[in-house]
Structures are given as structure tokens and as C-alpha cells.
Homo-oligomer: A and B are copies of this chain.
């Protein structure tokens, strides 16, 4: 099992914890097409593995994951959308608990993994940012479904529309993650939690997760709505301008700021 991963380092433990590392540190663990696909399908393989009880995911180096690869993209729009959908759907459908150890920057699809984990532990060095609007894109992968039920609507709109950075400490204070710890305690804490869960009563744990996730499923079309609007936004001129501006670290002049009635 797990023999078909390149972006992800996947390590099944004797303690029934599956340790997963996004492993492209030179790119801040940005995914690209291959990595994005792996981010979606790993959860089904984990779910089917009779020997693993808990997954623990983190990023190699100083980032958790910078999201899509700003240079290479996540593949053509169809593939990107399909894989983003798989990521969200499969993390929610996964019966077993997932722990994220957010060790640094978590953006876009990386942030989706960080926050769709059942237990999210952030380092004080963690930086969380949805970032879609900056790129001229709709916040389409997890936020519309996950944020209002974590930090409330007022904060969700504030942060998603303005794309301010949220550090680990603030993320814990507003309830976006379960806990924030000093950086050096991140991996021990997350590991401890994963091991503890792995020793626990698995049906009770999985079932408690399942009941809580009903809240997501009862509103799943909100995610889908946002996802396919994001796909739509990739075909509009603002996306080109936004992506170029992020690449060049310049200020974008969105054509869609004039004549928004055209869309």
C-alpha cells in the first residue's frame, strides 16, 4: 500500500498512526498537479487500510503547504477541480480521525487539509490564509463550508474577503483550529494526540466524527457551489491578472473591478 505517492511521504506506524508529510519543501510544499491528486486520494487508501487508525499530516521544512503551485498550477482546470473536490469529499467521508500539525504557512488547498483535519494543531509560527480572492478566484475549496461553522459568519466573511493572514495563536483564539502550541511542541503534541486516538475505542471515535460531519453533509452543496464558481472564475480575466500579480509580487489591477455586471 501507499506505494504510488511522490509528493506525499507516507509512513505507516506500528502504533497504527499513518504519518503523512507533504514533501516538497523547496516549493513550500505547494502541490502541483501530481501532489494535488495525491492530496485527494490518500484518504480513501488510509480509510481502507485495516492496520491504520489515525492519520497525522504535516509539511516538510518550514511550511505546511503553500497550496497550488503558483508557477505550474494544479493541472488543467478540470483536473484541478476534480482533485479539489476529491480532497474535500474524501476527508469528510473518511471514517477515521485525521490530525494536522500546521507547522508553517497553510494556504489554498494546503489550508483545506489543515482545517478539514478533525484535530488541527497549529504552531505559533503557523500562518493561515485562504488567499483565493488575492488570485482573483472564488474561495472555492473548503472555506464556504468549513469557516462559518468554525469561527462564525462575521469573521469568515471578514477574513475570506480580505485575505488577511491569521497566525496560529489567533487561529486558536477564534476557534479555527483546536489548539496552538509553541513551535517546538507542535510535533510532540500532535503525535501524542494521534497515538492517544489510535489507542482509543475506534468505533466510538469514528462514530462521533461521523455524527459531527453530518453538519458538513447537510450543507455539502455549499461547498460544491463554491467549488464550481471557483472553476468558473478561472475562466475570467481577473484570474490571469491576480495570478500574475502574485507571481510578480505587484499590485493587481483587476479588470473585473470595472463592469462586474458582465458576469
Which residues of A are in contact with B by a Cβ distance under 8 Å?
Answer: 16, 44, 50, 53, 77-79, 81-82, 89, 93, 96-97, 115, 118-120, 132-133, 136-140, 143-144, 146-158, 160-162, 174-179, 193, 196-212, 214-215, 217-222, 224-233, 235-236, 238-239, 241-242, 252-254, 256-263
Contacts and interface: CB of A to CB of B under 8 A. Distances in A.
Nearest to A251: B199
Given A204-B242, A214-B225, 14 more contacts: A138-B207, A144-B208, A149-B152, A153-B215, A161-B197, A199-B253, A201-B236, A202-B238, A211-B224, A214-B220, A214-B221, A218-B218, A228-B229, A228-B232
Contact of A150 (B152, B209, B232, B238): B152
A138 to B, nearest CB: 4
A174 to B, nearest CB: 7
Given A161-B205, A218-B219, A257-B202, A154 B133 contact: no
Contacts of A219: 214-215, 218, 221
A209 B152 CA distance: 14
Contact of A214 (B224, B233, B260): B224
A255 B225 CA distance: 26
B136 A151 contact: no
Q: How often does this chain occur in the complex, in copies? A: 6
B193 A210 contact: no
Nearest to A229: B207
A175 to B, nearest CB: 4
Contacts of A241: 201
Nearest to A99: B161
A210 B225 contact: yes
Contacts of A225: 210-211, 214, 221, 224-225, 228
